[in-house]
């Protein structure tokens, strides 16, 4: 895989460099609520611009239905990118049409443009190779060189991620190089003890990574909504908590295999419950109570780890040489149910080992709860991509960058 440093050594002045970034940021209307993904790609874009490249930045945002939708416009991201670069960033109101063509043609050396949301064109996400390829052909007309730096999208076989690199000289940007380097530390020559914290809503989303980690991790700590399927698999009442009954046999098999292999599986010993899911807009008091994990009342919903669980998990992470965390421990967006996620984040900060926050809601939680990002070994920009890498899957966007 060639890197951006090799491209810079070859010279980029005057060249149109297509940067596939990940500007898929959360929006409240047109207000960006977390600009972490934009900040992550700034080093690559800034370096190219400083070297005289004409930088064409492209990304998706959200899940539009293959047609323009103002709710998913990249305009706010383009504005924020300009603020972070300290320079004007041009914005094309389409992906490969008249505006994109004219905007790119109007770039001078060292200038940057963002084209509109790639998913406004159905060819970006099409499962038909010909349709996807045709869109990649049009994107290729905008550039001389391709730089892949949208790590959060490399697990997608999309036109701008998979097909376009085959049509242009291609290189990995700084972000992808960093992300891959970190993930290798989690999969090869891992420093031990190796602890993994998995949370989030659905256990089905994590089955593949659990299966893979049973061969590699020393401890697996479970929290979030998925914990209640594990507790149910052990025969406990889980009230009205999130539950995937169809996954109980798989969970029971994982618990059996973990015991067989000497992998420590750690589940909540107490949980914070409430009669119903909290209102995340008003943040109205949810009247929570804390109960033992094996004594949940019927009609109550588990929404966070309890204080004894928080202490337990902190102790299990205290001596870890390597920690990977993906998925919140509770409904961290509400103050009544944020302590479990906060406790895990603090345990990673306090841990002397190498800590990785695996993107997605975990990365958002770290920022929302006010932690210093520099206190962690690495905060990934791609939750799904990180998990699929740890599952041992081939990621299309990384394979496309290989020579």
**How far from 15 is each of 50, 109, 234, CA to CA, in Å?**
12, 8, 60
The answer to whether residue 11 is catalytic is no
| Residue in 200, 224, 384, 397 annotated catalytic | 384
| Residue in 199, 327, 360, 383 annotated catalytic | 360
The answer to whether residue 202 is catalytic is yes
The answer to whether residue 37 is catalytic is yes
SS (H, E, C) the chain: CCEHHHHHHHCCCCCEEEEECCCCCCEECCEECCCHHHHHHHHHHHHHHHCCCEEEEECCCCCCCCCCCHHHCCHHHHHHHHHHHCCCEEECCCCCCHHHHHHHHCCCCCCEEECCCHHHCCCCCCCCHHHHHHHHHHHHCCCCEEEECCHHHCCCCCHHHHHHHHHCCEEECHHHHHHHHHHHHHHCCCCCCEEEEECCCCHHHCHHHHHHHCCCCCEEEECCCCHHHHHHHCCCCCCCCCCCHHHHHHHHHHHHHHHHHCCEEECCCEEEEECCCCCCCCCCCCCCEEEECCCCCCCCEEEEECHHHHHHHHHHHCCCCEEEEECCCCCCCCHHHCHHHHHHHHHHHHCCCEEEECCHHHHHHHHHCCCCHHHCCEECCCHHHHHHHHCCCCCHHHHCCCC
| Residue in 2, 202, 216, 367 annotated catalytic | 202
| Residue in 15, 16, 20, 37 annotated catalytic | 37
Kindly list the catalytic residues: 37, 202, 360, 384
């Amino acid at each position: 895989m060639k890197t951006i440093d090799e491209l810079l050594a070859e010279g980029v002045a005057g060249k149109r460099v297509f940067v596939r970034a990940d500007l898929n940021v959360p929006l409240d209307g047109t207000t960006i609520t977390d600009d972490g993904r934009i900040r992550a790609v700034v080093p690559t874009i800034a370096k190219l611009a400083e070297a005289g490249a004409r930088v064409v930045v492209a990304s998706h945002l959200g899940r539009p239905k293959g047609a323009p939708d103002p709710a998913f416009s990249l305009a706010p991201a383009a504005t924020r990118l300009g603020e972070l670069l300290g320079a004007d960033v041009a914005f094309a109101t389409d992906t490969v049409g008249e505006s994109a063509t004219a905007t790119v043609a109007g770039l001078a050396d060292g200038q940057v443009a963002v084209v509109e949301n790639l998913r406004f064109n159905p060819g970006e996400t099409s499962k038909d190779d010909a349709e996807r390829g045709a869109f990649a052909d049009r994107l290729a007309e905008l550039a001389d060189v391709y730089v892949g730096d949208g790590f959060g999208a490399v697990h997608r076989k999309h036109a701008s991620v998979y097909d376009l690199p085959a049509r242009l000289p291609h290189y990995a940007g700084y972000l992808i190089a960093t992300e891959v380097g970190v993930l290798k530390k989690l999969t090869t020559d891992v420093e031990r003890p190796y602890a993994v914290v998995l949370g989030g809503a659905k256990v089905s989303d994590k089955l593949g990574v659990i299966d893979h980690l049973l061969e590699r991790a020393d401890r697996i700590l479970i929290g979030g909504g998925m914990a209640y399927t594990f507790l149910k698999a052990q025969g406990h009442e889980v009230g009205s908590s999130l539950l995937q009954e169809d996954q109980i046999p798989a969970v029971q098999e994982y618990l059996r295999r973990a015991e067989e292999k000497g992998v420590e599986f750690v589940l909540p010993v107490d949980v914070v419950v409430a009669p119903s899911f909290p209102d995340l807009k008003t943040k109205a008091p949810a009247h929570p109570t804390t109960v033992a994990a094996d004594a949940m009342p019927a009609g109550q919903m588990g929404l966070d780890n309890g204080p004894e669980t928080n202490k337990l998990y902190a102790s299990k992470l205290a001596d870890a040489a390597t920690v990977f965390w993906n998925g919140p421990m509770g409904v961290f967006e509400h103050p009544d149910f944020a302590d479990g996620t906060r406790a895990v984040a603090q345990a990673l900060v306090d841990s002397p080992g190498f800590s990785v926050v695996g993107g997605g809601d975990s990365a958002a939680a770290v920022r929302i709860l006010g932690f210093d990002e520099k206190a962690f070994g690495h905060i990934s920009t791609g939750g799904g991509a990180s998990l699929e890498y740890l599952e041992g899957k081939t990621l299309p966007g990384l394979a496309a960058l290989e020579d």
